[in-house]
Structure 1
Amino acid sequence: MNYRLYSWLSRASLPLAFGRLMWRSRNQPAYRQRWPERLGFGRVSAPGGIWLHAVSVGEVNAALPLLTSLRKTYPALPVLVTTTTPTGSAQLRQRLGHTVAHCYLPYDLPGAVRRFLDRVQPRLGIVMETELWPNLFAAATNANIPLVLANARLSQRSSRGYRRLAGLTRQTLGQLSAVGAQTSADAQRLIELGLPQSRLNITGNIKFDAPVADTAPGLALRQRLGPKRPVWLAASTHAGEEAAALAAHRVLRQAQPGAALILAPRHPQRFPEIARLCHEQGWVTSLRSADDDTWCDVYLADSMGELPSLMAAADLVFVGGSLVARGGHNLIEPAQLGKPTLFGPHMHNFAELRDITLAAGAGLQVVDAPNLALQLTTLMADAPRRARMGEAAQALVATHRGATARTLALIAPYLETPPG
C-alpha cells in the first residue's frame, strides 16, 4: 500500500469515524464535542513549542514524568499535548491542570494534519509508545519538524499487523528522527519493520520513573472499608473479567468472610452495567460516585484517574485486560506501591514486563478464572508471602529507573538547536 491509496481509504472511512464518535457518545457525551479538532481546526494558545501525543489514559500516565521534566528543562517553550480519547484528555487535565495546552490529534488525512501542524508549528514532535500515522509523519518531515518516538513498545501481535503493510510501515518509520525503545525486544521488532538502526536507542520504560502516588486517599479509603478487613482490587477490568472477579471474591469470602473487593472497570461507559451486575448477584455495593462510606462487600470505583489510590487501599491487585484477550495492562503502578499482583494469561502487550515481574517474584500469572480464585485465596491467607512479593516489586522498580533522563538526552539536540 502506498500513501495515495492509504489517504484515499482514510478519506473514504471518515463518515465511519464520525459515526463511531456518535455511537460512543451515547455513554460519553464528550465524544460529541470538539469535532473541528478532529479535522485539524481550532486555536493554539502558544505555538512554536513542544508537541507530545499520548493517545489515551495509559499513554498520558506514561508521559507524565517526561512532561514534568520537559517543563523544568525548557521552561520557555510551551507544551501542547494531543490525545485521541476524551478520557485521555480528562486524565491530562486532572494530573497537570492547565500547565500544558491540549487538543485532539486530527484524523490522519493529508489536509487535516497539515492544518494541525501549520497552526501548532512545533519545534519537536514526541509520539508516545507506538502510534504510526503515515500522513502525519510525512507532513512533519515536509515541514522540517523532527519527530521522536518515545517509550516505544511493539508487541509480537502488533508487529505482525504492521508487517501486512510492510512498505507503508517502512516508509513511515523512515520519517522518524529518533526512537527510544523500552526493551531490546521492542527495538529488534522495530528494526525488522524497517527502522534504520542508526536512529534507535534503548531508553527503558518511563513509567518506572513516575513519582509514587499520594497514598493518603487510599489509606483513608481503607479506613472507611475497615482497616482490619482483607481488601483486594480488580483493576482495569474488561467485559467478562468483572464476573470472574466477583466469582473469585465469593470463593475468597468462604475462607475470609470479611473480605472486601474494590472493582475498577477500565471503561467508564460500562459503570452502570457493572453496578447492575453487582446488585443482581446480591452483593452489598457502594459506589465511589455516591461517596458512599457505608459497609459493603464490593466497592465499585465508578470514577477515573484514581487507580493509584485504590491500589494503596488494597492488600493485593489483580491487573485486568489479561483474563480476556486484550493484552493486559501495566504492572508498574502496583509495583511502585509494593503490592503483589495477579494477572491472567493474555499479557502480550506487556510481555517483557510480565517476564521480569515473574522472574523477580513480584507477581503471579493465573491461567483462568477458577485459578484466579485459587491463587487469590491462597495469597490473601499468606501475609508474609505478600510482603516478600511487595518488596520484590519495589526493588524491581528501583532497578529500572532512569528512562526519563535517557529520553531527555535523546531529544535534547532537537530542542537546543535554534529553530530554522
Structure 2
Amino acid sequence: MVQSVSDKERYEKLGAEKNKVKVYKNLKYSIKYNKISEDQKKEYYNTTIDKNKKIIVCGSTRPDEEKIWLDVLKKVDTDNEYQLIIVPRHLKRIYEIEKIILEKFLRNDYSLFTKIEENKKNNETTRYKKIIIVDKMGILTDFYQLADFVFVGGTLVDIGGHSILEPLYYGKKPIIGKYFQNIEEIVKDAKQLGFVEIVENEDEIVEYLKKFENVDTREFFEKNNEINKILDEILY
C-alpha cells in the first residue's frame, strides 16, 4: 500500500505485480489529534502567548528557516503586533537559534519556553516576549491551536517538508515553501481546496501575514480518511 500513483509506478518498475500495489490516502488523515482544554489555553495566555497580538507559529523548523522568519518578523512587525513562536525540529539546535536571534534582536526580546515554565514554578512573573523558542518536545500541536498563522518547516529549505495535517486539523491554513516533495500528495489535496499557502520568498510571506484565514477542514479530513478501506485490504 502506497500513498501516490508515482510511488506505485516506482514499485512496479522494481518488479512488483501491478495488482499487488494499491494506492491509499495517508494514514494521518484518520488520526484524531489532541485538543487542549480551555484551562490549558488560559494557562498559555497567562504565561506565554500574548492574545492581543497575531501569533505566528513556526513548527519543525530546519537550519536557515529561523533566519528567514526572523527577517520576516523585522519587516512585518512595525507596530509591535506580532509574536513569533519557533518550534525547531531538533532541540540540539536551541543554542544555534538563540545566536541567530541575538544577531537581530535584543536579549530581552525572546525567552525559552522552559524558562517561562521555571519562572511560573518559582512564582516569578515574566512579561510577554516577542519571540519564544519552544525547547520542549511534544507540545507543538498545543501551539498550532493557539496560532493565527502556521508555518510548517522543512519547506523553505530543501528537506521536503513535514506534515501539514496537524495545523489543518485545527483549522489553520499552513504556510509552506516550495520544497514539499515529501508531502506532495497531501499538499495537492489541500491546494485544490485553497487550504495551503505556498510562498517563494520573504516578501510573499510578509504579504500573506497581512491577511487572516482560518479554514473549515472537517469535510477535507472525512473525505480523505480511508482507514476502513485500508483495514478491509489488510483483513480480508
The one-letter amino acid of 2:61's match is: T
Gaps of 5+ in 1: 1-179, 414-420
Q: Are 2:219 and 1:395 aligned?
A: yes
The one-letter amino acid of 1:326's match is: I
Q: Are 2:1 and 1:184 aligned?
A: no
| Aligned-partner Cα distance in 2 for 1:193–1:373 | 45
Q: Are 2:91 and 1:258 aligned?
A: no
| Aligned-partner Cα distance in 1 for 2:139–2:197 | 24
> Which residue of structure 2 aligns with residue 231 of structure 1?
55
| Aligned-partner Cα distance in 2 for 1:228–1:401 | 36
1:218 Cα shift? 5.1
1:268 Cα shift? 1.4
1:243 Cα shift? 0.3
Matches within 5 A, 1:192-207: 192-207=13-28
| Aligned-partner Cα distance in 2 for 1:306–1:242 | 19
| Aligned-partner Cα distance in 1 for 2:100–2:206 | 18
> Which residue of structure 2 aligns with residue 267 of structure 1?
90
User: Residue 361 and residue 303 in structure 1: after superposition, are their counterparts in 2 closer, same or farther (change >3 A)?
Assistant: same
> Which residue of structure 2 aligns with residue 280 of structure 1?
103
Instruction: Give the number of equivalent residue pairs.
Output: 223
| Aligned-partner Cα distance in 2 for 1:401–1:260 | 34
Matches within 5 A, 1:29-108: none
Flag the structure with higher helix content: 1
The one-letter amino acid of 2:2's match is: A
Deviations 1:2-49 (A, max 9, x none): xxxxxxxxxxxxxxxxxxxxxxxxxxxxxxxxxxxxxxxxxxxxxxxx
Q: What RMSD over aligned residues (CA atoms) do the two structures have, in Å?
A: 1.9
Matches within 5 A, 1:193-342: 193-216=14-37, 217=40, 220-224=43-47, 225-254=49-78, 256-283=79-106, 284-290=109-115, 291=117, 293-342=126-175
Deviations 1:289-332 (A, max 9, x none): 22255310001111112111110111110111111111111110
TM-score under structure 2 length normalisation: 0.86
Q: Are 2:198 and 1:365 aligned?
A: yes
Relative CO higher for 1 or 2, CA cutoff 8 Å, sep ≥ 6? 2
| Aligned-partner Cα distance in 2 for 1:190–1:223 | 52
Gaps of 5+ in 2: 120-125
| Aligned-partner Cα distance in 2 for 1:346–1:213 | 28
| Aligned-partner Cα distance in 2 for 1:335–1:373 | 21
Larger Rg: 1
| Aligned-partner Cα distance in 1 for 2:41–2:85 | 11
| Aligned-partner Cα distance in 1 for 2:226–2:41 | 27
1:219 Cα shift? 5.8
SS at match of 2:22: strand
> Which residue of structure 2 aligns with residue 121 of structure 1?
none
Deviations 1:359-417 (A, max 9, x none): 111111001233222322x22xxx3xx03xx22x44322221133x333333336xxxx
TM-score under structure 1 length normalisation: 0.50
1:344 Cα shift? 0.3
1:223 Cα shift? 4.6
